[in-house]
Structure 1
């Protein structure tokens, strides 16, 4: 197995162009597990640990730009106010050791349907920055996933950053598992209020071949919310929203849960997170994730 350790992004992109089968590694929380269990034996590894710009975050064109290798722990500590939904999701990832190594870029690269960051990214309408020696392109996160553990990356491309607009309204994330962290989600749901756009963003995780938004649920609730003179939501509205979220899922039966249970749980998570977020919008204070 070959091992490449570039010192700059330009060197990394050149190496990926020359060695398209090289597997990128930063935190190693997914790749090293696969190597240790002999589930994967790539021809080469491309270590991104020395590339400074991948480990930085800042503002660009009014959005928060998070380098692909910025660990979850820093997102929680440094970006929790601007990106509360993503910070909530980050708190449920693995153990403190994993949160100090794992990153959103790695989560996107793995493209697992159960990745914890995906629902929050979808709800916030994030964009993925992708680079190669041919140039840089931006892909809306909803278009990034193409199948189970597959994405739009070309063989010579690397994820370099994620761009997310700072929250203008309440955000929530919740997942079902045997415990809150150090567990693969049975199902997960992210929600973000966008009062400036008068809409609600959603994201489903571990409930379909790819992470996805609940589009019909978003369209329904957009017609039910009074942004100018907000008032408490009727239980019937919350339940209809939950039902539409469940309908958006295409879950499977596996060792962690049945398809029927996943749909039921998503409906519950959807109406709870919407209730919490709308309560915060009404002035009830911020709720922590479930």
Structure 2
């Protein structure tokens, strides 16, 4: 096994162009497990640990640019107010040691349907910055996942950063598992309210071959909130509308039966999580303080 260790981003892109089969190594929280259990034995590993720019982040007025190797710990400690849904998801990732090493970029690169960061990224409106010697492009999160553990990166591309819209309203993330952290989600759901555009976005994890948005549920709830004047007057969402939103969220799933749960259980759980997160986010939105919530 060859071990490539570039000292700069330019060297990393050159190495990836020369050896498209090289597997990137950042925090190593997924790759090292596969190596230790002999589930994967790549011919080349591309260590990105020395590339400082991947560990930096920038917060603009409307967007946070998160370097691919920024650890979950930083999101929890420094970006909670700007990215509340992602911070909540980060809290459920592994142990403190894993949160010190693991990153959103690594989670995206693995592209597991159960990746904890993915639903929150979909709900917030994230774009993946992919780069190669040929140039740079932004891939919307909903277009990034192409299959179980497959993504839209070309063989010569690396994830440089993730661009995430700064929260303008409450966001929530919830998952079902045997415990709150250090466990693969049976299923997960994220919801973000976007008061400026008067829209909602969702993200579903571990309930389809890829992380997905519940677009029909989003459109339905957006219509209900607009037609009922809820954004202007802060009226509660009618129970029948909340129930229909939950049904549509469950209908967006395409789960399977596995050792962690049945397909029927996952659909039911997503419906429950959708209704709960709707209640939490709308309560936070109509509370006197308003704004984004991480409660």
For normalisation by structure 2, the TM-score amounts to: 0.96
For 1:256, the equivalent position in structure 2 comes to 260
**Structure 2: how far apart are the matches of 1:256 and 1:165?**
32
* Unmatched segments (≥5 aa) in structure 1: none
For 2:13, the equivalent position in structure 1 comes to 13
**Structure 1: how far apart are the matches of 2:40 and 2:250?**
34
Does the 8 Å contact 2:84/2:294 carry over to 1? no
For 1:115, the equivalent position in structure 2 comes to 115
Distance apart, 1:200 and its partner CA: 0.5
For 2:153, the equivalent position in structure 1 comes to 153
Q: Secondary structure at the match of 1:253?
A: coil
For 1:233, the equivalent position in structure 2 comes to 237
Find out whether 1:246 has 2:237 as its counterpart: no
Q: Secondary structure at the match of 2:196?
A: coil
For 2:280, the equivalent position in structure 1 comes to 276
For normalisation by structure 1, the TM-score amounts to: 0.98
- Once the two structures are superposed, the pairs formed by residues 26-37 of structure 1 within 5 Å of their partners are 26-37=26-37
For 2:214, the equivalent position in structure 1 comes to 214
For 1:189, the equivalent position in structure 2 comes to 189
Output one character per residue of 1:153-189: Cα deviation in whole Å (capped at 9) or x when no partner. 1111000100011100000000000000000000000
Output one character per residue of 1:124-149: Cα deviation in whole Å (capped at 9) or x when no partner. 11000000000000000000000000
For 1:199, the equivalent position in structure 2 comes to 199
Instruction: Summarize the Cα distance change of 1:284–1:35 in structure 2 as closer, same or farther, 3 Å threshold.
Output: farther
Distance apart, 1:288 and its partner CA: 5.3
Dislocated runs of 4+, deviation >6 Å:
284-287
Distance apart, 1:234 and its partner CA: 1.7
Count of aligned pairs between the two proteins: 289
Instruction: Summarize the Cα distance change of 1:193–1:287 in structure 2 as closer, same or farther, 3 Å threshold.
Output: closer
**Structure 2: how far apart are the matches of 1:80 and 1:10?**
31
**Structure 2: how far apart are the matches of 1:233 and 1:129?**
36
For 1:141, the equivalent position in structure 2 comes to 141
Output one character per residue of 1:18-54: Cα deviation in whole Å (capped at 9) or x when no partner. 0111100010000000000110000111110110110
Distance apart, 1:274 and its partner CA: 0.6
Output one character per residue of 1:65-98: Cα deviation in whole Å (capped at 9) or x when no partner. 0000000001110101100000000000000000
**Structure 1: how far apart are the matches of 2:61 and 2:284?**
28
**Structure 1: how far apart are the matches of 2:256 and 2:201?**
24
**Structure 2: how far apart are the matches of 1:287 and 1:129?**
27
Distance apart, 1:59 and its partner CA: 3.1
Distance apart, 1:287 and its partner CA: 6.4
Output one character per residue of 1:162-221: Cα deviation in whole Å (capped at 9) or x when no partner. 001110000000000000000000000000000001100100000000000000000000
Q: Secondary structure at the match of 1:223?
A: helix
